[in-house]
Amino acid sequence: MILILLGPPGAGKGTQAQRLEDKHGLIQLSTGDMLRAAVAAGTEVGRQAKAVMDRGELVSDDIITGIISDRLDQPDCKSGVILDGFPRTEAQAEALDRMLADKGMKLDAVIEMKTDDKVLVERITGRYTCAKCGAGYHDKFLKPKVDGVCDKCGGTEFTRRSDDNAETVKSRLNAYHAQTAPLLPYYRGKGILKQVDGMAPIDEVTAQIEAVLKTI
Ligand code: ADP
Ligand code: AMP
């Protein structure tokens, strides 16, 4: 199964993708995570991407589609993937259509996580991640069961993203509305767009996504 989770930064894509991985054995492909790994590793791609990401703008379509195409060729993706943060432009969506056709793969559904912009700054500025296993948390909305200890791996170190600040969030939301929101009519036209209420509590969003999966 190939799914796209589509929504603005902070909509809950990564949170729900981690749950889909755990429950259905799908692989989360987050282009943001891949770029952050490239930045941390100091690769050429990472070097080019870092300044763009810090400004809250979008990295070039060629870099992104190259990364995704290579990743889809790896054997673990045969069991199915959740695309999180990709595609983000019409050029990326068209490139995805072409690469899936070339690889004999099919896009099953695009799930829009509908949210109001007004909740996103609080979600993003409160977000943090386990440094050991990458599990996502929130200062207010998703705390670990034991304060300071990761539920999943017991890790005690956590990180926050440098672009998760109120200033950069504004540019990232502008980029979403200008460049990514036009993908909604693109996928509606293909008859594969589904919607869930991204404003609902996290467990309720999970339940809505599970209900959508039953219809596929
Ligand atoms: P995205 O991957 O779309 O940028 P995340 O999944 O990282 O967003 O979610 C952003 C932050 O908001 C995280 O800290 C997460 O715990 C929290 N969050 C996710 N979904 C919800 C929700 N439905 N209600 C409240 N907080 C949420
Ligand atoms: P995310 O982790 O999805 O919030 O992405 C963090 C940043 O990485 C974005 O603000 C962009 O600069 C960059 N990025 C991630 N995915 C893409 C993509 N599909 N196209 C262009 N830039 C991306």
- Report the alpha-carbon distance of residue 134 to residue 113 in Å, rounded: 21
Q: What digits encode the pLDDT tens for the residues 133-145?
A: 999 999 999 999 9
- Report the alpha-carbon distance of residue 172 to residue 180 in Å, rounded: 10
Query: Region 86-96: what's the mean pLDDT?
Result: 98
| CB of 134 shorter than 6 A to ligand 1 | no
User: Probe ligand 1: pick from 82, 123, 209, max atoms within 8 Å of CB?
Assistant: 123
Q: What digits encode the pLDDT tens for the residues 44-87?
A: 999 999 999 999 999 999 999 999 999 999 999 998 999 999 99
Local structure of 7: helix, strand or coil: coil
Report the pLDDT value the prediction gives residue 194, as an integer from 0 to 100: 98
pTM: 0.97
Residue 92 tokens, joined: 């990326």
Nearest CA to ligand 1 atom 5: 12
User: Probe ligand 1: pick from 21, 127, 129, 208, max atoms within 8 Å of CB?
Assistant: 127
**Which percentage of the chain shows pLDDT scores above 90?**
99
Report the pLDDT value the prediction gives residue 146, as an integer from 0 to 100: 98
Query: Region 152-166: what's the mean pLDDT?
Result: 96
Query: Region 148-172: what's the mean pLDDT?
Result: 96
Query: Region 179-184: what's the mean pLDDT?
Result: 98
Residue 216: CA atoms inside 13 Å, Cβ hemisphere, count? 18
Provide the angle, in degrees to the nearest 10, between the axes of the packed helices 61-72 and 31-41.
100
Report the pLDDT value the prediction gives residue 70, as an integer from 0 to 100: 96
DSSP 145-200: SBTTB-TTT----EE--TT-SHHHHHHHHHHIIIIITTHHHHHHHTT-EEEEETTS
| CB of 7 shorter than 6 A to ligand 1 | yes
